[in-house]
Amino acid sequence: MRAETLRLLLPSLAGAILITPTEVLPALQKLTTPRPLALPPALLGSVVPTDLDSLRPAGGVTGRGSRDGWRGVHVVVSVDWEGSGFDDEDLAAFRRFRDDFPDVPLTHFLNAAYFTRLAPEDVVGAVCASDKIRSVLRDGDEIGLHVHSDNHLVYAAGVTPKKFPSWNYLPDMTGHSVPLSAFSEEEVRQIVAFSCRTLEQQGFGRPKSFRAGGWHAGTSVFNALAAEGFTVDSSEVPYESIPGTFGQLQELWPDATRVSQPYYLESGLVEVPDNGCLADYVTADQMVDNFKEVVRAGIGKPAVLSLGFHQETAAKFLPRLRSALIEIELRAAMQRIPIRYDVVKDVALTLCKSR
């Protein structure tokens, strides 16, 4: 790689740009200017971080696409929509994030439960829910599916709701913490098919990517998803990222780590692990550490870092993600590690093909 011509992909600078080393600092200043959060104190006053110095791919960095051998970190940012409800504060925080990070496409794991919690004849309520969801969607986003086993959703799908087992180890009268994996394959298929129909009726299109509530997916869930035309699952999560014990996570994902990369499941789906977990469970520093670990583990290969948050807790936890993305972009720029933001469906097949 010629030192005077580094092609770095700085997503917040509207795509790939050519910069030289002397342009790095102005570029970084430009990168951070429109974003309201201060730089993380640990980064202020530091020179180029040295712990990533040895991690640049041999042969240098290019800005070409991964199909052409592009080597870098694909950062996937996803949103789990719990189906529980909407709070103005969360939606406002969500919209501010979209305004401040316009080049970060999101994968929305949407939930049909926003509509089944309404009375069937409540058309106004359904339109209102759709409008609130649409207020934070942007061009380039992906609509996926998220399912919790809430009674009203399961019942509407023609399946008998369960109160137990739950990942809280207590009977759950709402069903929200009952793992989808506790239902039979046929029952899961009914719930998934109903959820897809509901989202389609509301104009969101048919999802192809999936994340199970509480990351509880297993063989019956994967088979049901494949039968319903899904191509990607993103339910794998490293159980070490979740404090304490959490249902069957360790049994369902025994090999999950913070650097797990996309792979094919036996059902034929591509698994895109949620290796960086969601902001409710990990701090900004842990997200940045996760980035460093993914870079370290994936040297010479394209790699995925999955981060995200919940719509229902956006006001509380989005600040963690905002801080983490700013620091990740800065570190990547200073270390000449190319990063780019992608949605789940786009990284799935691309990365599987490259391995």
Binding interface with Zn ion (CB under 5 A): 80, 82, 213
State in angstroms the smallest separation of the CB of 67 from Zn ion.
Answer: 33
Distance CA 139, CA 1 (A): 34
> Which residues on neighbouring strands pair with residue 143, listed in sequence order?
108
Nearer to Zn ion, 83 or 302 (CB): 83
Using the minimum distance from each CB to Zn ion, give the nearer residue, 82 or 236.
Answer: 82
* Nearer of residues 147 and 288 to Zn ion, judged by Cβ: 147
Q: In the complex, what is the shortest distance from the CB of residue 144 to Zn ion, in angstroms, rounded to a whole number? A: 12
From the CB of 234, what's the least distance to Zn ion, in Å? 12
CB of 337 within 8 A of CB of 328?
no
Min separation Cβ 147 and Zn ion, Å:
8
| DSSP track, 138-180 | -TT-EEEEEE---HHHHHHTT------S-TTSS--TT-TTS-G
Q: For residues 283 and 259, is the Cβ–Cβ distance under 8 A? A: no
Nearer to Zn ion, 66 or 313 (CB): 313
Compare residues 196 and 259 and give the one whose CB is closer to Zn ion. Answer: 196
Least Å from the CB of residue 4 to Zn ion: 48
215, burial (CB in 10 Å: exposed 0-12, middle 13-18, buried 19+): buried
Return all residues near 217 (Cβ < 8 A) that are at least 6 apart. Answer: 180, 181, 210, 233, 235, 252
d(CA 325, CA 144): 22
